[in-house]
């Protein structure tokens, strides 16, 4: 699951870098920070070994995913649509990975939910900042909320007799589905700004 999340986020980073017309080095850097940025922050917070520094599999996967995405960028279809899909897959997988890392470290469920959200979202935050964009998590789009709902569902489902494999699948599916539905139906969190204030901000 961790590796699949790394692949999804690395491709997401490549697509963002391509849309900004970055050079090959820039593409690789954006892919790398998108793929492991959130997990690195999580590992630092829980005082654990940073995963990709101990296991070079992550580095090889990021390099491979970057080359794949660059070579087959035309076959990935419209970059915007592909970016959304890979990003959504990434947050679904990484949310559960972060939650399970927190559980393994013995943290309270609330902290585990926070770690899941950090793991899923903060690679994208770093990616967007480096690409001179306002991170999605700080906009009104439903993004981190989907991670929180999926991570919360994980702990609720653990109270049932359901096998752990199904708990993981259902929780990840909740993150994916909530994010997908929010974009499809243009759902968003309430805003504190008036309409005239939003128009001025857009200007």
All structural domains of the chain with their residue ranges? 2-202
d(CA 66, CA 27) in angstroms, rounded, equals: 8
pTM of the model: 0.88
E strands of 34-160, at which residues?
Answer: none
Closest CA to 39 of 111, 103, 91, 104: 91
Note the pLDDT tens digit of each residue in 97-155: 999 999 999 999 999 999 999 999 999 999 999 999 989 888 767 899 999 999 999 99
Note the pLDDT tens digit of each residue in 54-72: 999 999 999 999 999 999 8
Q: Which two tokens stand for residue 131?
A: 């690409």
């Amino acid at each position: 699951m961790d590796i699949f999340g790394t692949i999804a986020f690395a491709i997401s980073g490549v697509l963002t870098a391509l849309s900004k017309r970055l050079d090959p080095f820039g593409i690789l850097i954006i892919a790398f920070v998108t793929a492991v940025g959130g997990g690195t922050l999580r590992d630092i917070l829980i005082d654990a070994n940073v995963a990709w520094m101990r296991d070079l599999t992550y580095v090889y996967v990021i390099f491979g995913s970057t080359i794949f995405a660059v070579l087959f960028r035309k076959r990935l279809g419209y970059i915007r649509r592909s970016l959304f899909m890979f990003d959504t897959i990434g947050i679904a997988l990484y949310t559960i990975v972060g939650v399970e890392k927190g559980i393994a470290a013995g943290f309270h469920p609330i902290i585990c939910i926070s770690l899941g959200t950090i793991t899923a979202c903060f690679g994208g935050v770093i990616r967007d900042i480096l690409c001179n964009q306002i991170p999605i998590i700080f906009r009104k789009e439903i993004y981190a909320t989907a991670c929180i709902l999926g991570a919360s569902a994980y702990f609720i489902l653990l109270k049932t007799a359901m096998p752990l494999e199904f708990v993981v699948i259902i929780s990840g599916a909740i993150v994916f589905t909530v994010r997908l539905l929010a974009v499809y139906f243009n759902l968003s969190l309430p805003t504190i700004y008036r309409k005239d204030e939003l128009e001025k901000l857009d200007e």
